[in-house]
Structure 1
Amino acid sequence: MSVTVVLGAQWGDEGKGKLVDILSAHTDICARFAGGNNAGHTIIAPIGLDHVQTKFAFHLLPSGLVNKEVTGIIGSGVVVHLPSFFEEFDTLRAQGLDCSNRLFISDRAHLVFDFHQIVDGLKEVELGGSSIGTTKKGIGPAYSAKASRSGLRVHHLFDPAFADKFRKIVEGRYKRYGYFEYDTEGEIERYKGLAERLRPFVTDSVVYLHEALAAGKRILVEGANALMLDIDYGTYPYVTSSSTTIGGVSTGLGIPPRRIGKVIGVIKAYTTRVGGGPFPTEQLNETGVHFQEVGCEYGTTTGRRRRCGWLDLIVMKHSCLINGYDALNLTKLDVLDDLEEIKVAVKYLVDGKELLGFPANLETLTKVEVSYVTFPGWKTSIAAVSSYEDLPGIARKCLKVPIEWIGVGPGRENMIKK
């Protein structure tokens, strides 16, 4: 099969971008299928004749674009904030990565406007103490508009009735939230200019991708967020607003399931999450601080310090059942180098009884007692290790799941292929 999918297997921030970067050397098209510029992938890659190691921050654009032979597709399931799209595009170009003529947006993709971002903040205020902890990028309100059939899509930008439709939608937000400061007419004028700049990027992505498949092109699908943030299967309501699972690939890109080949799940050697919501293995102690500091656990998009805890195999079992991974990529194993002991969660118990799966009810989740298996730490650096056999014995003993790639550092060269 010519479609490979890379998905986050935990709560996001697993390091998907690095694997996408590596796999993009053997692909023709890299496609995003869900989410918006609330995602964040960091890539470190050599640029220019002098091969200067450069750090790139991707938010909306597919990170496979680091490979200058790859074409990027932003699919119909993605929500797009055009000012952020062009800001990211221009920043990458200033860093020496020009994506001109090899980046396209589906004409069916929904648009995120600044009023969506304002509403995002107002909704968080409404929730008060139950705040979800969103990035306030307007993603949730844009998907809400999509689901209620009141959103605007990319093709609407070129509709003569765009201005009237836009005014009507803003008026609807005023009725719902009360008047808030917003220059509706100024925004309409701004989007007229953005629409003209966007025109060369717009395509019918369904036709584009299926013509590519018919021509034998290799397509790499890059997930945003992760399984535990999925609107259906994550820790609802502390989730994102889209389908982050393998099912989202078909709905977000228009690719039939039978055309999908390898599915790769990316997991961290420990667990992190951003924002509110339950986190059974969270460590509010020196171990958690170690993960934060040594693992540089700060959000690419928000800069927020991530919450950290031990690897959770109950989460991983739930993730594997839903996404059916063919292989896993374990990242940041080197962050465990200096720990005296390493714990892995293997069971959730409530009143002494083991739960069979990851519970839907968050009240149940707050009551779980986590059962761990403890391993002694290997207490040596693995950053220079280049083969699985050269990993410390105890590290290999910890890797009991079918793992194909192991990350032992931040660079491209710090990835072991098993």
Structure 2
Amino acid sequence: MKKNIVILGTQWGDEGKGKIVDYLSQYSSYVVRYQGGNNAGHTLVVDGKKIVLHLIPSGVLHPNVIGVISNGVVISLIDLVKEIKMLKDYNFFINNRLYISNASSLILPFHIKIDLLREKKLGLNAIGTTGRGIGPAYEDKIARRSIRVGDLKNKKNLSNKLKKIVSYYNDQLVSIYKSSPFDYQVILADLLQIKSIIYDMIKDTTLLLHQAIKNKKTIIFEGAQGSLLDIDHGTYPYVTSSNSTIGGVITGTGIGSKNLDYILGVTKAYSTRVGNGPFPTEVFNDIDCYFSTIGKEFGSTTGRKRRTGWLDGVALRYSVELNSLSALCITKLDVLDNLKEIKICIAYQDVFTSEIYSNFSFCILEHVKPIYKTFPGWMKKTSGIRNIKDLPNPAYCYIKYIEKIAGIPVHMISTSPDRNDIIMIKHPFLKF
């Protein structure tokens, strides 16, 4: 029986979700982005070519897949058009294969400027945003002043709404930040120009997806960021501005939970995070250099170096419970190939009271240190392996322990950046 599946990250993002979505998309009809904006970057390697997508669902690299950007996403139209052109340059054509929700909120130039100015003003207390205007765009959505994609279809209404919101931001830019104001007519002209490119893509995507479900089409719901960056359940305030956990699928698409058949959590074989905030298993010096170099741990959106650390089993269990995960996909296993020993955090210890915590709570992370279980490294190449039987025994034991600490099975293992280097233990779209 075919499934509608969710693919989301269990850590602080950058788990390698894009490759997994791309790989499984060959078995699906639709791939849907349901939250976030162009602050996410999904990197794919196809025929030796590195392709980075920020807004367009990863599955569109397969010619029979329809991509949907749903209502939970905030959209920079300028960046969206750039991605469409980039795909065309790579000979990936998405005519009649990409639809955009009429209810998606727009990211506009003043959102980006205010985002950057705020971070600068905060200085050492900055959140560490990507500076793409994501937070301010979501603020406007919650404050009910957002300009949405559907507004592009009515020039008069668009002009009136834009004039008001530009005035709102100009007051802040001039009086608080001593910065130059925006001319709403310039922004309006740019929007009207872009409208002609995307006009036919604008749809009621909730209606579109419900019809697809009625027609028994298979759907992948593609998450951005990771569970520990969720605005409600992540390491607040060092989080993103949307729900990157399972609830974001429902609110971000209008599809009810009964239609979600399988939830795959993507977990890097170690941990990384970008930006500020607590990170109990963070490492430094030689190990950090190793992860950064071998794992190429630099942000695909910003180019910033990622902070690195050992796999956090406490946080992983939290993500499993939070998202009702069906199974895990482990990525970047091959990065660990040359390490003599490998660690997994199995609990936290309070540095002041020595109390042991086996459960994750973001309110304690600032003052805990990890308690590790150490494993022998395998010191053999796993890159490119596609059969579980070919894994070195220590690598197999490492995977089995991840299953034990997470409480759910591992169904997939990625062993290189190449789209086909996957160990498939149990296929999400095939009968179990």
Smaller-chain TM-score bracket: over 0.9
SS of residue paired to 1:241: coil
Hey, what does 2:430 align to over in structure 1? none
Contact 1:33 1:78 in 2 (8 A): yes
Task: Check 1:77–1:406 CA distance in 2 against 1; reply closer, same or farther (3 A cut).
Answer: same
Identical columns (%): 41
Contact kept, 8 Å, 1:6 with 1:265, in 2: the verdict is yes
The within-5 A match list for 1:402-413 is: 402-413=409-420
Equivalent-residue separation in structure 1 for 2:45 and 2:36 (angstroms): 23
Offset, 1:180: 2.5
Q: Tell me if structure 1 keeps the 8 A contact 2:346–2:358.
A: no
| Deviation digits for residues 236-280 of structure 1 (CA, Å, limit 9, x no counterpart) | 111100000111000000000011001000000000001111111
Task: Name 1:102's counterpart in structure 2.
Answer: 97
User: Gaps spanning 5+ residues in structure 1: where?
Assistant: 47-52
- How much has 1:176 moved relative to structure 2? 2.7
Instruction: Note if contact 1:110-1:154 (Cα within 8 Å) is conserved in structure 2.
Output: yes
Separation (CA, whole Å) in 2 of partners of 1:384 and 1:303: 26
- 1:112 corresponds, among 104, 107, 110, to 107
Partners in 2 of 1:395 and 1:356 — Cα distance?
A: 25
Residue equivalent to 1:173: 169
Q: Is the 8 A contact 1:2 1:216 kept in 2?
A: no
Residue type of the partner of 1:403? V
2:170–2:181 contact (8 Å) kept in structure 1: no
User: Could you tell me the TM-score, scaled by structure 1's length?
Assistant: 0.96
Report the counterpart of residue 333 of structure 1 in structure 2: 333
* Letter in structure 2 aligned against 1:195: K
Distance 2:329 2:32 in 1: 19
CA distance in structure 2 between the aligned counterparts of 1:270 and 1:183, rounded to whole angstroms: 47
Instruction: Judge which range, 192-201 or 177-186, deviates more.
Output: 177-186
Cα offset, 1:357, TM superposition: 2.1
Distance 1:109 1:120 in 2: 19
The answer to whether the aligner puts 1:87 opposite 2:88 as a matched pair is no
Matches within 5 A, 1:144-155: 144-155=139-150
Aligned mate of 2:361, from 348, 359, 362 = 359
Q: Paired residue for 2:423?
A: 416
Please report how far the alpha carbon of residue 138 of structure 1 lies from its aligned counterpart in structure 2 after TM superposition: 0.5
TM-score by length of 2: 0.93
Matches within 5 A, 1:379-418: 379-399=379-399, 400=401, 401=403, 402-418=409-425
Residue type of the alignment partner of 1:106: S
Partner of 1:60: 55
Q: How does 1:15-414 map to 2 (within 5 A)?
A: 15-46=16-47, 53-159=48-154, 160-178=156-174, 179-350=179-350, 351-361=353-363, 364-399=364-399, 400=401, 401=403, 402-414=409-421
| SS at 1:369 equivalent | strand
Q: Which runs of 4+ in 1 moved over 3 A?
A: none
Q: Provide the C-alpha distance between the structure 2 equivalents of 1:210 and 1:366, rounded to a whole number of angstroms.
A: 43
**Deviation of 1:126 (Å):** 2.8
Task: Show CA shifts across 1:295-331 (max 9, x none).
Answer: 0111111111111000000110110110011110000
Q: Whole-Å Cα distance in 2 between the matches of residues 326 and 6 of structure 1? A: 10
Deviations 1:118-143 (A, max 9, x none): 01111212322111111111100000
Deviations 1:324-355 (A, max 9, x none): 11110000011011111101100011122222
Q: How many residues align?
A: 410
SS in 1 for 2:302: coil
2-side partners of 1:369 and 1:120: how far apart?
33
Q: Deviations over 1:384-412 (max 9, x none)?
A: 42211221111111112111111111112
Q: Does 1:7 align with 2:8?
A: yes
Q: Which moved more, 1:73-82 or 1:385-394?
A: 385-394
Give 1:203 deviation, angstroms: 0.4
Output the CA distance in 1 between the equivalents of 2:360 and 2:212. Answer: 38
User: Which amino acid letter does the alignment assign opposite residue 33 of structure 2?
Assistant: R
Greater CA drift, 109-118 or 390-399: 390-399
On the 8 A contact 1:2/1:213 being kept in 2, the answer is no
Does the 8 Å CA contact 1:274/1:306 hold for their aligned counterparts? yes
Residue number in structure 2 paired with 1:50:
none
- 1:130 and 1:145 map into 2 onto residues whose CA distance is 23
Q: Find the aligned partners of 2:26 and 2:319 in 1 and give their Cα distance.
A: 27
Aligned to 1:26, what secondary structure does the other structure show?
Answer: coil
Letter in 2 for 1:348: Y
Q: Displacement, 1:2?
A: 3.4
Shift of 1:177: 3.5
- The 2-side partners of 1:35 and 1:413 are apart by 27
Instruction: Report SS of the residue matched to 1:31.
Output: strand
CA shift digits 1:204-256 (9 cap, x unpaired): 10110011100011001100001011000111111100000111000000000
After TM superposition, give the deviation of residue 181 of structure 1 in Å. 4.1
Would you say the 8 A contact 1:235–1:360 is kept in 2? yes
